[in-house]
Amino acid sequence: MSVSKTVTATPCRAWLVDRLGPVAAISLAQLFGTSLWFSANSAADDLVRAWHASAADIGWLTSAVQCGFILGTLGMALSGSADRFRASSIFLVSALLGAVFNAAFAWFAHGVAGGAALRFCVGVCLAGIYPMGMKLIVSWAPERTGAALAQLVAMLTLGTALPHALRMAGAALPWQEVIVASSVLAVLGAIVIGVLGDGPHLNVKARSADGAPPDAPGVLSAFRYSAFRSAAFGYFGHMWELYAFWTVVPLFLAKASVASALHLKSVYGLSFLVIGTGALGCIAGGALSRRIGSAKVAAGALAMSGVCAVIFAVGWRALPPVALLMLLVAWGAAVIADSPQFSALSAQACPRALVGGALTLQNSIGFAITVVSIPATTALFERIGLDAAWVLVPGPVLGLIGFAPLLMRADRTPDRPVQ
């Protein structure tokens, strides 16, 4: 079934599909929607002064987002709503509500407790943005999932880094206005997905005459497939490291005096550089996956990320600031490049009827891991400084161990491809 024959709606939708392309449109919406994720971290310095907060408090604000995301994804996966309702509708509503809660954080939060509650609500909304963005990609471009998801996660990475760029560009503006800018972007992302809609390849389950969804295997059954288990275990190890790293990047840069050594006034621009480079890593990994396969790309990126963590933990005392920055940039490129490939492998390893729920459940478990790794890393950072990088090392190590069965048979056909 051709995409063009299924697109018969508005001229705006036709333009998005024919001119911009559905993958690019979804990726752009993902960029705007996920700018909500780390919007509070871009104001870390201001919050420390205004709320008398510590680095650990900033870590708890990030963990609140993760907890909300976990609850949201777990609810969607176990209830079946991730596969029962249109992914575009879930994305649109979630992005609009997330924009509201994010703006409320900027204007109505006056302390860590109230701020954490609103950030938790933002996290719940993000559960309808990130996984549904992946499902939308599969619905529009199932034949090139690895490369398409790489583009999507690249936009997630830029969305994560974007608040730092907004803060740098609006250095003279109140931090509240910078955070609200992320809400405006999220609304734009909602509009793009609302116009685009779902693709033709993963339709909402048909309903019976009484309106009830048909019986389907539970989402937990995805773990019966060994390829899905291996990809998921690799993803879980990757998640131990990823969001903790993104959280402490500004702290690492400040503690290592990288900005001052380069005669910069703040770490915002460098934080955007380190995190945003991950977008290039995703795109490069996606292109490479079409030549050597997603499994090898995922394993290579996860191993490189672990090596960067070890080098940083061992060498930060001896390396000059410029070398530390180059190492962090390389780490930032590798730390996220494996994520879309793990998701592509997971999507290929389970039945099409479970793709949305399986990816959402995988996200939920992965982000539950970050609730431990983020506060552990930030709390240790306050006590031992840059040596806290050692906390991130077990993630890549354990992830590679869990992923090994699938990697060793990377040239074979998965035990249950997407149908």
Assigned domain for 207 exists: no
Amino acid, single-letter form, for residue 226: S
Assigned domain for 312 exists: yes
Q: Which domain does 169 fall in, by range?
A: 10-201+218-408
> What tokens were used for 162?
């974007």
Taking only the tens of pLDDT, the chain with its 419 residues reads 344 444 445 777 777 777 778 888 998 998 899 889 878 877 777 887 888 877 678 778 888 998 999 999 888 888 878 778 888 999 999 999 999 999 999 999 888 889 999 999 999 999 999 888 888 887 887 777 778 888 888 887 887 787 777 767 766 678 888 889 889 999 999 999 999 888 877 654 434 333 444 444 567 777 888 889 999 999 999 999 998 999 899 889 888 888 777 767 678 788 889 999 999 999 999 999 888 989 999 999 999 999 999 999 999 999 998 899 999 999 999 999 999 999 889 888 877 777 777 888 888 899 889 889 988 998 899 899 999 999 999 999 999 999 999 888 765 544 443 33
Q: Find the CATH number of the domain harbouring 62.
A: 1.20.1250.20
Assigned domain for 213 exists: no
> What tokens were used for 347?
């999507």
List pLDDT tens digits, range 288-313.
988 898 999 999 999 999 999 999 99
Residues 6+ away with beta carbon under 8 Å from 408: none
- Overall domain count for the chain: 1
Instruction: List the one residue out of 149, 103, 164 whose CA is nearest residue 342.
Output: 149
E strand or H helix at 343 = helix 339-349
Assigned domain for 210 exists: no
**Cα dihedral 233, 238, 241, 247 in deg (nearest 10):** -120
Instruction: Please state, in angstroms and rounded to a whole number, the distance separating the CA atoms of residues 249 and 268.
Output: 10
Assigned domain for 206 exists: no
Assigned domain for 3 exists: no
List pLDDT tens digits, range 30-74.
889 988 987 887 777 788 788 887 767 877 888 899 899 999 988
Q: Is the pTM of this model over 0.95?
A: no
Residues 6+ away with beta carbon under 8 Å from 31: 155, 156, 158, 159, 162, 185, 189
Distances from the Cα of 315 to the Cαs of 119, 237, 243, 256, 320, in angstroms?
Answer: 35, 23, 22, 12, 10
Assigned domain for 414 exists: no
Instruction: Please state, in angstroms and rounded to a whole number, the distance separating the CA atoms of residues 247 and 55.
Output: 10
Assigned domain for 189 exists: yes
Residue 387's CB: how many other CB atoms inside 10 A?
15
Amino acid, single-letter form, for residue 355: V
The answer to whether the beta carbons of residues 238 and 373 sit under 8 Å apart is: no
